[in-house]
């Protein structure tokens, strides 16, 4: 890492290093979103729409990473989750699979919620009769 902040008493290296690693994490997220989810240009024409698209992509990436960890637990067993012992899920492939099935998953979830509410309401109606 290069910097023009040469006074190590006023600018100790530790916070700069931490800041660099935090920024790198964000850069990696943007790279994943751009490469895996092909988000280069935004179809939305206003700030709220663009924020919604970015938030949806971040949600897909987060779900993909969670699912990758769950796959690793299933394959390797919960006690072998280190990079040294066991198979690792290809996170880009998992994220792409989540992205490809996201709309269907949300629609299925909405139908499940609607069925639950209808069943609950029928139970409430039965109680009143």
pLDDT in tens, the chain (129 residues): 566 767 778 777 777 778 878 888 888 888 888 877 777 777 888 999 888 888 888 888 888 888 888 877 777 776 555 555 667 777 778 888 888 887 788 888 888 888 888 888 888 887 776
- Whole-number Å distance between alpha carbons of 108 and 54: 23
Q: Are 68 and 89 in contact (CB under 8 A)?
A: yes
Q: How far apart are the first and last CA of the chain?
A: 73
- Whole-number Å distance between alpha carbons of 129 and 126: 5
- Whole-number Å distance between alpha carbons of 17 and 24: 10
């Amino acid at each position: 890492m290069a910097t023009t902040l040469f006074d190590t008493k006023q600018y100790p290296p530790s916070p700069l290093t931490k800041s660099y690693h935090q920024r790198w994490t964000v850069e990696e997220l943007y790279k994943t979103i751009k490469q895996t989810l092909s988000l280069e240009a935004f179809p939305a024409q206003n700030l709220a729409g663009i924020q919604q698209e970015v938030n949806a992509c971040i949600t897909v990436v987060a779900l993909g990473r969670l699912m990758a960890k769950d796959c690793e637990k299933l394959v390797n067993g919960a006690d072998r989750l280190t990079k040294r012992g066991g198979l690792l899920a290809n996170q880009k492939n998992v994220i792409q699979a989540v992205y490809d099935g996201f709309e269907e998953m949300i629609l299925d979830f909405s139908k499940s919620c609607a069925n639950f509410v209808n069943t609950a309401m029928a139970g409430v109606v039965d109680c009143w009769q």
